[in-house]
Structure 1
Amino acid sequence: MINWKGLSASYHWWRRRWFYPLVSVVVALGVCLTTPAPGKAIDLLPLLLQGVQVLQLSNISERQEVDLGKQMNQELSAEVRLSDNSQLISYVNQIGRRLAASSDRPNLPYTFQVVEDDAINAFATLGGFVYVHTGLLKAADNEAELASVIAHEIGHVGGKHLVKQMRQRAIASGVATAAGLDRNQAVGIGVELALNRPRSRQDEFDADQRGLKTLTRAGYAPSAMVSFMQKLLRNGSGPAFLSTHPATSDRINALNRSINSQPSNGRYGLDNNSYKANIRAFLR
């Protein structure tokens, strides 16, 4: 004998369990796919079926940011020569972690890398990945000056400046839509910007101020950030991280005003002889 009542109950349970969620997904997809957006449209449904990860850079989570940073680091390893000098890497990490603990985002799992390159440069990507050139290590007179540049790059991480630039580039190139941006496209854009980053006035001033606060909180001499900039300008080195826009003299004046308004007793890292001895040993 057929239990019609039982079958009816099972049917209603199945409908609640599967039908309504399915309708919700279809409606959500319809909203995403029909929402007008500038640039080249991305058909979200095929991307989902293919397992492509679609990101919304406007509200990227910290975990997504760190994961993107890891993927960008893998890509960068093919573009730049990362040092395998364990002593040198350990030394830079020691400085970086001291600064990171006093930064705007101390809970990020920061990674500090050394790039074998004589250019006086440093850059940062997403999720706390910071890269320091050996040329910068050699150009600094003391640890505080080196720390000032690392703090500046940590300031870019704190301000999420690269995320903003990636979003702007994706929109301008027509690959960002209401559906989002393909993860691999995001990584490619991020790597290109990290290596050839356009320097906006607002971002550089912001990274300077964030970096100065981090440097001071970590106990380093804040004057080292100014002295390093001034020295490189006098020598005409023209490092990449000292962009001509905004004018470095304006940045130095802004830093001096900040230092004078909040005097610090921090003097750590000013021993030139000790630093030079360490660097010579590390770079052998």
Structure 2
Amino acid sequence: MVGLLELLLIALIILLIFGTARLSRAAATTKAAVKVGKKRLWVANPVTGEKEFTLMTAEKELALGRRSDAEVRQKWGLYNNSALQQYVQEIGFRMARASQRPELPWRFSIVDDSEVNAFAAPGGYIYITRGLLAHLCNEAELAGVLAHEIGHVNARHIAKRYTREHGAQAGLWLVRVFWPAARALSGWADKGLDMLFLSYGREAELEADRLAIGYIAKCGWDPLGLSDVLITLGRLQDASGENVVPWFSTHPLSPDRVTALENIVTHLKTRPTDTGRETYRRYIKGLSFGDGASSRIGFYLVQDGDTWQAIAKHAGQAQIDAATLAILNGHPVSKQPRAGDEIKMVVIASSDVP
């Protein structure tokens, strides 16, 4: 059933196409336009199967994705490590092929940015920053981040935001037609990259989390990888006292998200336990860390009596503080490292990395 809002938007589209001078003639074709509109603007959600109104058609989704990808590459650039890029691409492809929209031209890319972030563009373009990669401890956590973004694309959360935004702009356009003084309020221009950094709502986040758990488990990784990421980044945020995790600006960390994830995992019929820790560590060795050109990810074998403070000061040459070092390794600040463990370190690029 076409609702009042949808009818108004279809009428507005007719108005934009035919112009106000020909509105009366266009009105005669309203029934036909409604039929066309229902076909193009009412689409089945790939996740729920339910019909929903959208202003982002499949063609528009792909076009916006290509444009956003070009803008991302121009603004930040991609991280210059072909082996690591291919690794992330393969992890993402594996889950995308097992998802509700395997036909999309999926792309998974590492952005050359030190900020801790990940985001999705329409049409299956997924990005993760090298800053976030540095804070992940294994392949299951990487899969968790990518799967969450895949969930947003598959559930058409970006398309829903786009439709709400442009529906509101349509209303303002009508106001401007009849009230010229309001013409400065808004425009129809697409927001480009800004569209990728609008905050998702709580329900969208929980749905993307739920979908991610399914993708991760289906592909054989420990599905708790995603909740481990949220815990680590929550510690990073708390330790700094500032907004150092841009991912939380667009993907709010509500108090119940980790609990909800853990509850979903407990109800899985089968729960894989593979984390892919060693493979992940092999690929991120030498990863650039922070804004400087010389700091890289390396590894250190913990000795008897070592503390985070001592390791950060001596072995790490004071590249990062003790609290950040603990969090970088997935530990609470209060838990000291265990002798014999190989931990991530931040080292100077010219030094030998164990």
Specify the alignment match of 1:101 in structure 2. 97
Specify the alignment match of 1:280 in structure 2. 285
Specify the alignment match of 2:232 in structure 1. 231
Task: State percent identity of aligned pairs.
Answer: 30
Equivalent position to 2:11, from 35, 50, 68 = 35
**CA, structure 1 residues 34+174, in 2 after alignment: closer, same or farther (shift >3 Å)?**
closer
Contact 1:138 1:279 in 2 (8 A): yes
Q: CA deviation at 1:75?
A: 2.5
Consecutive unaligned residues of structure 1, counting only runs of 5 or more, are 1-30, 47-54, 179-184
Provide Cα deviations, 1:127-182, integer angstroms capped at 9, x if missing partner: 1000110011110000110110000000000111011101111122347879xxxx
Contact 2:55 2:163 in 1 (8 A): no
**CA, structure 1 residues 175+281, in 2 after alignment: closer, same or farther (shift >3 Å)?**
farther
| Aligned residue runs from structure 1 range 1-284, under 5 A | 35=11, 43-45=16-18, 58=54, 60-174=56-170, 188-194=190-196, 196-236=197-237, 239-243=245-249, 247-271=253-277, 273-281=278-286
Provide Cα deviations, 1:25-50, integer angstroms capped at 9, x if missing partner: xxxxxx9999368xxx963147xxxx
SS of the residue corresponding to residue 123 of structure 1 reads: strand
Q: Quick one: which amino acid aligns to residue 273 of structure 2?
A: R
Partner Cα separation in structure 2 for residue 176 and residue 74 of structure 1: 30
Partner Cα separation in structure 1 for residue 145 and residue 215 of structure 2: 11
Partner Cα separation in structure 2 for residue 156 and residue 34 of structure 1: 26
Partner Cα separation in structure 2 for residue 224 and residue 187 of structure 1: 39
Specify the alignment match of 1:3 in structure 2. none
Provide Cα deviations, 1:37-79, integer angstroms capped at 9, x if missing partner: 8xxx963147xxxxxxxx9681644344223211221223233
Partner Cα separation in structure 2 for residue 165 and residue 177 of structure 1: 18
Provide Cα deviations, 1:154-213, integer angstroms capped at 9, x if missing partner: 0000111011101111122347879xxxxxx8883352120x222211111111111111
TM-score for both structures, normalised by structure 2: 0.59
Aligned residues between the structures: 235
Specify the alignment match of 1:25 in structure 2. none
**CA, structure 1 residues 243+236, in 2 after alignment: closer, same or farther (shift >3 Å)?**
same
Q: Quick one: which amino acid aligns to residue 209 of structure 1?
A: R
Contact 1:65 1:126 in 2 (8 A): yes
SS of the residue corresponding to residue 65 of structure 1 reads: helix
Specify the alignment match of 1:18 in structure 2. none
TM-score for both structures, normalised by structure 1: 0.72
Partner Cα separation in structure 1 for residue 246 and residue 75 of structure 2: 17
Partner Cα separation in structure 1 for residue 255 and residue 131 of structure 2: 22
